Structure 1
């Protein structure tokens, strides 16, 4: 039994099709199919079966796919220990992150690792909350966020809290609340809102405000980009939620604290368990946690 066969089965389980596996692993679909046949011949069991126009794992294939991550994690852990013994903390680490977090994390991360031979490759992504975990199949570290008190877990995924970041209500500078410092949910719900689309953490927080106030918000615009949100608020289109760490001073808007509702997001670092064992990946995650601790200490409410 070869580990590459197990990895192939895990990829097929996670990605759902031979074509998707081929595209991700830079192989042709015929090459992937040939490797599956080779694995079946070597293991002496049928691993895949027809499913419409594609293939799906058999029960035996699913058993082996489930075991793949344990094998991959053990191999990565052994390699990490060897690298540490030989003092070889190096390598490329691919990081995908939501823009509103990478804006304050990335400069500090790259500066902190300047003298370490780790090549961090950044990619900014903005997807719905549930879609961040899927990115861990393609990146070494994924920086996502949630407004849940406890982040959702996925088997085979290591998740670390980086920082708890307050989300504030942003209003135009000439709003009638401009001299106030905080606002209650039943007051905020009566205003028109500029919100993210459903499924995004900031929208989930708005839904929490709606429940606290006992009535729905009037959402007049749905946009993802925080800079666009800020511009619309400044123009008087509505009020919104923005993250405290990356909302720069702007004379056209004011930030207010939200009372009586847990109005913070958790910024998370996620990695597949086998990748999280790599020494370079561990170092990147440790650096992110240290950065988050410093940011959190400076923003205690």
Structure 2
């Protein structure tokens, strides 16, 4: 039994189809099937079973898939110690980043890592539930969540909480409330609202504000990009939620803390456990922690 066979089972467990596994490993689906059959013959155990038009792992298959993570993590850890002994950490790392979190951290990260580490950045603005899936195809994922504790679907990943960023109510500078130091849900109830798609974390916060105020907003737009939200707020089309650290100072937009409803997001780095043990990824995580510490204290776990 080889590590590559265990990795194949792990990928099947997470990705759910032979076609997806073949795509991830850059082989053909028939090659995946052949390796699975050969491993089953070697072990004398069924590792997959049919379900619908596809297959899933049997109990022995899932056991080996879990073992793949453990073995790969040990191998990566040993390789990392060897790299440290040799006195240099270099390589390439693929980072998937939520744009509004990347604005805060990526410039400092790239500067801290230097030329020895090649960083390939991919921007992904996805729903909170989709960050775990991004870790299958990237070394590190920089995402966010609203809850103090990591999501249930992050439990199989290495989660490093980097910082807590306050979320403020963004108002046009000419709005009657803009001169205040803070607002409450009752102050902004029924206002025109520039929001995000349903299922996104900021929309959950909008629902909480409406519940506290007892009156819904008038939603005039839904969009993912915070810069677009900011532009429409500045133009006077409504108010919205913007993160404090990553919103550029503007004379046309006022950011006010919200009282009466807990706001804020936790920005985290996610990685598969075995990937997190790689020397270059360890190095990047340490650099991310250092960058975050310069912006705000790391949230307590």
Unmatched 5+ residue regions in structure 2?
none
- The 8 Å contact of residues 144 and 268 in structure 1, kept in 2 or not, is answered as yes
Q: Describe the superposition over 1:94-121 as per-residue Cα deviations: whole angstroms up to 9, x where unpaired.
A: 1100001111211111111115x22111
Aligned residues: 296
* Paired position in structure 2 for 1:111: 111
Larger deviation: 89-98 or 47-56? 47-56
* Paired position in structure 2 for 1:123: 122
- The 8 Å contact of residues 101 and 267 in structure 1, kept in 2 or not, is answered as yes
* Paired position in structure 2 for 1:38: 38
- The 8 Å contact of residues 18 and 29 in structure 1, kept in 2 or not, is answered as yes
* Paired position in structure 1 for 2:97: 97
* Paired position in structure 1 for 2:281: 281
- The 8 Å contact of residues 69 and 156 in structure 1, kept in 2 or not, is answered as no
TM-score by structure 2 length? 0.93
Tell me if 1:134 matches 2:133.
yes
SS class of match (2:233):
helix
* Paired position in structure 2 for 1:193: 193
Unmatched 5+ residue regions in structure 1?
none
* Paired position in structure 1 for 2:142: 143
Deviation, structure 1 residue 234: 2.0
* Paired position in structure 2 for 1:64: 64
SS class of match (2:135):
helix
Question: What root-mean-square deviation, in Å, do the aligned CA atoms of Structure 1 and Structure 2 show?
Answer: 1.5
- The 8 Å contact of residues 185 and 212 in structure 1, kept in 2 or not, is answered as yes
* Paired position in structure 2 for 1:219: 219
* Paired position in structure 1 for 2:254: 254
CA distance in 2, matches of 1:208, 1:291: 31
* Paired position in structure 2 for 1:177: 177
Q: Describe the superposition over 1:258-288 as per-residue Cα deviations: whole angstroms up to 9, x where unpaired.
A: 1122221110011111011112111111111
> Within 5 A, what are the aligned runs for 1:158-169?
158-169=158-169
Q: Describe the superposition over 1:3-37 as per-residue Cα deviations: whole angstroms up to 9, x where unpaired.
A: 11111011001001001111111111111111111
TM-score by structure 1 length? 0.93
CA distance in 1, matches of 2:3, 2:64: 10
Deviation, structure 1 residue 77: 1.2
Deviation, structure 1 residue 250: 2.1
Deviation, structure 1 residue 218: 2.9
* Paired position in structure 2 for 1:49: 49
SS class of match (2:79):
helix
> Within 5 A, what are the aligned runs for 1:230-269?
230-269=230-269
- The 8 Å contact of residues 22 and 32 in structure 1, kept in 2 or not, is answered as yes
**Structure 1: which 4+ aligned runs deviate by more than 6 Å?**
none
* Paired position in structure 2 for 1:27: 27
CA distance in 1, matches of 2:289, 2:205: 24
Change (3 A) 1:159 1:222: same
SS class of match (1:137):
coil
CA distance in 1, matches of 2:63, 2:246: 45
Deviation, structure 1 residue 165: 0.8
Larger deviation: 177-186 or 206-215? 206-215
SS class of match (2:89):
coil
CA distance in 1, matches of 2:252, 2:209: 24
Deviation, structure 1 residue 183: 0.4
SS class of match (1:174):
coil
